[in-house]
Amino acid sequence: MGKCPELNGMVRDNSRRSSMTVSVLLDTSFLISLVDRNRVNHNTAALYYKLLLEQQTPIYFSSIVAAEIAIKQPITDLPLKNFRTIPFNIPHSIESARLWNLLGTRDDGDSRSVIRDDIKIMAQASHETIPFILTEDASTLYKYCERLRTSGNLNVRAIKLADGFDYSAFRLDGQKDFDCFVS
């Protein structure tokens, strides 16, 4: 994976007050896109990351994600100083089991181990009341998060990088900015 050294210089500007009251959990695929300039969604990931820093939005980094990243690259390649780390604990495992059981049948071809880790990440967000997960993973994390959310079983919304940057993505009410509708 290509490194993106300019991210190391990005730090929070604590002189501004945030108008946002939300927080975000970063998925593995988001972080890979953020640090690898060769990824299709790198620019979108960088725009979201910049917005999160500018708005002083709490950014969470799961120990599940750390384990997934560490398979291919050192986690020290990430701008860790800007993240709040979440260990995976007993309450998260209980929420994971609840979500797994509510999910029911998984789609053919979806890897059980991948879905299991995605469910753990969703469970952490749910238990910690983190309303958003940033992801590039449309095939499992986004799909199953939306399935659980739209069925009323999860109060977490996944934001897909493939949908492009949306300044209003972190609105709790889901309302889009007017600029999104003007050509």
Order the strands of the 59-62 sheet from edge to edge.
Answer: 84-86, 59-62, 24-26, 132-135, 157-160
Query: Is there a domain that residue 13 lies in?
Result: no
Query: Is there a domain that residue 27 lies in?
Result: yes
Residue 51: both structure tokens together: 């917005």
Domain with 82 in it: what CATH number? 3.40.50.1010
Asked if the model's pLDDT at residue 2 lies above 90, the reply is no
Query: Is there a domain that residue 183 lies in?
Result: no
Query: Is there a domain that residue 67 lies in?
Result: yes
Query: Is there a domain that residue 85 lies in?
Result: yes
Which residues form the domain of 119?
21-178
Please name the helix (run of DSSP H) or strand (run of DSSP E) that holds residue 62, with its range, or none: strand 59-62
Asked if the model's pLDDT at residue 19 lies above 80, the reply is no
pLDDT tens column, 143-169: 999 999 999 999 999 999 999 999 888
Q: What is the mean pLDDT of residues 32-38?
A: 94
Query: Is there a domain that residue 4 lies in?
Result: no
Query: Is there a domain that residue 8 lies in?
Result: no
> How many structural domains does the chain have?
1
Q: What is the mean pLDDT of residues 166-180?
A: 72
Query: Is there a domain that residue 5 lies in?
Result: no
pLDDT tens column, 63-91: 999 999 999 999 998 999 999 999 999 99
Asked if the model's pLDDT at residue 11 lies above 90, the reply is no
Q: What pLDDT is attached to residue 15?
A: 39
Q: What is the mean pLDDT of residues 127-154?
A: 95
**Site of tokens 């100083």:** 81
